[in-house]
Amino acid sequence: MIVAVIVISLVIGFVVAAGVVGTQAQRLGRQRREPVWRLAEAAEIVADLVPFDIAAALEPSELEALLRAHLNQLQFAPPATPDGDDPDAEGETGTTVTEDQSSAADLYRSVRRDGLEVSLEQVSAVADAHLEYLRLIGALAVVDPDGS
């Protein structure tokens, strides 16, 4: 009799555990996968996206340093605010990544300060290609300027 109670308890415990695990597996299966930035993959794709003359002039270590610096710039830059408004204002939606020349110039100054010998044209091309890579992996969303 005791053996039957133990067996039934184990079966009930297994059924409950399987149900909980199955429910959580389904919930996690429905969630969107988070994009993962990998340096080697980013360097390979960015090297393919930049013009040949720029890719040929960059050493792999320079390209990787540029990618790291650009990612740090995107990650740790102060939040962009519309028209210089207060970042705590209502309607603030977070940081906006723009493709203006000032961000490329800031990145250029930063990498030159770190001792990297690159041109502004190279930095700009790598930054643009890196943004395209981030869009490809789903790390950046494309926002319609019309809001539709």
Residue extents of the structural domains in the chain: 1-31, 39-80+97-136
Q: Which of 117, 124, 103 is nearest to 46 (CA)?
A: 124
The predicted-structure confidence for 9-44, as pLDDT tens digits, reads as follows 999 999 999 999 999 999 988 887 778 888 999 999
Full-model pTM: 0.64
CB-CB contact of 63 with 43 (8 Å): yes
Identify the three-state secondary structure at position 134. helix
